[in-house]
Amino acid sequence: MTSCFATLILSLLAVATLPALAHGDLKQELADRAAFAQFNKMSLSHCADKMTADRIHEKAARRRVSLFQDIHKRRLEDRATNNPLDIDHSANNLGFSLKTPEPIILEEFSAVGRNGCVIAPESTEGPFYVEGEYVRPTLREDQTGVPLYIDLQVFDSSTCKPVTDIFVELWNCNATGVYGGIEFDWDPSNVRRTWLRGLQETKQDGSVSFSTIFPGHYEGRTSHVHVMTHVNATALPNGTVYDDMATHAGQFFFDQNLIDTIEALYPYNENKAPLLRNANDSFLLSEAYTSDPFFQWAWLDSEFKSVGLLAWIAFGINMTERREIHVAETLLARGAQPTGVVM
């Protein structure tokens, strides 16, 4: 599989029209990715036998079932073609619920292990990367939107083994297409915000879990989530990680029918930016040509969209790769503090 791709050109429209921000040269990035693909295994398919022998799929599925059940409880108490764009990645299409026998759920939740993506170490962090975010599982803070619980599992693409004790960083825009932590003309105070950004350290099985909200969109891009991995990084006493060297960085995507459903809900429907569909996102199309960079997902309760959904994916990284990343802002420089945590 090819790497999970970077942004081409963005213009951010939220309350007012903003100037366009270049995300990099598409032709150069395409050339870099092609060169990377020649010398790197671009999927986890070569790991299938080892993963089966090590019961990786089964263990991952049991973790996701446990997460599904735990989130569901907490929230209620307080494939036809080879084209990824044509595949329904929803686990709900089987019609299962918490009452469905566990073996059936396990089979569906283990499918992601056979569908991993390798994130290539090119300039995929985009112009909105902020260095020095907090190590924490819950990223939503005061942001309104459909709750999104993400389960990630990281593998060494050479050994096919889970990668432990590295930091995985995640960030995405809010429901109306705005990134926290970046200064925009219409709201300079936004630079002090930390919402929808954070890191977690991988466990023994290479997994991390985050709680965020489903990302909205901005002009020129479909909905996506940024993911980055840091090897040999150390958390500071204040609970943040400063590391401008990335092992890998990339993006993951969502089914169009899921995006359409969520975009019809408040506050997503307040977004005035033109909605770009998956089929027209150049970076997504470049990757989907030979890979499947989509989350698999399941509504926690299909009747109550406010409960949210669980999304999961496994991906491989090349542990020998290192590169310096472009840092737009740093948390230390802006003196930011989390504005509160909402579970």
Q: How confident is the model at residue 121 (pLDDT cuts 50, 70, 90)?
A: very low
pLDDT: which is higher, 262 or 283: 262
For residue range 170-207, list pLDDT tens digits in order.
999 999 999 988 876 567 777 888 999 999 999 989 99
| pLDDT confidence of residue 98 | 56
| pLDDT confidence of residue 145 | 96
| pLDDT confidence of residue 17 | 29
pLDDT: which is higher, 197 or 251: 197
Give the residue-averaged pLDDT of 125-138: 83
Q: What percent of the chain has pLDDT over 70?
A: 62
d(CA 263, CA 242): 34
State the residue for tokens 């003196």: 335
| pLDDT confidence of residue 125 | 63
Q: How confident is the model at residue 58 (pLDDT cuts 50, 70, 90)?
A: confident
Q: What percent of the chain has pLDDT over 90?
A: 30
What fold, for 9-334?
Protocatechuate 3,4-Dioxygenase, subunit A (2.60.130)
pLDDT: which is higher, 204 or 79: 204
d(CA 216, CA 267): 9
Is the pLDDT at 18 greater than 80? The verdict is no
Give the residue-averaged pLDDT of 31-50: 56
For residue range 288-335, list pLDDT tens digits in order.
776 678 998 988 876 667 788 989 988 888 888 777 766 666 666 444
| pLDDT confidence of residue 182 | 81
Give the residue-averaged pLDDT of 129-141: 91
Cβ neighbours of residue 301 under 8 Å, at least 6 residues apart?
Answer: 72, 75, 76, 307
Mean pLDDT (the chain) is: 74
Is the pLDDT at 274 greater than 50? The verdict is yes
pTM: 0.74
Is the pLDDT at 5 greater than 80? The verdict is no
Q: How confident is the model at residue 73 (pLDDT cuts 50, 70, 90)?
A: low
Is the pLDDT at 92 greater than 70? The verdict is no
Comparing CA positions, the residue from 184, 176, 180 lying closest to residue 19 is 184
| pLDDT confidence of residue 284 | 83
The full 3-state SS of the chain, as one line of letters, equals CCCCCCCCEEEEECCCEEEEEECCCHHHHHHHHHHHHHHCCCECHHHHHHHHHCCHHHHHHHHHHHHHHHHHHHHHHCCCCCCHHHCCCEHHHHCCCCCCCHHHHHHHHCHHHHCCEECCCCCCCHHHCEECCEECCECCCCCCCCEEEEEEEEEECCCCCECCCCEEEEECCCCCCCCCCCCECCEHHHHHCCCCEEEEECCCCCEEEEEEECCCCEECECCEEEEEEECCCCCCCCCECCCCEECEEEEEECCHHHHHHHHCCCCHHHCCCCCCCHHHCHHHHHHHCCCCCECEEEECCCCCHHHCEEEEEEEEECCCCCEECCCCEEHHHHCCCCCCCCC
| pLDDT confidence of residue 25 | 40
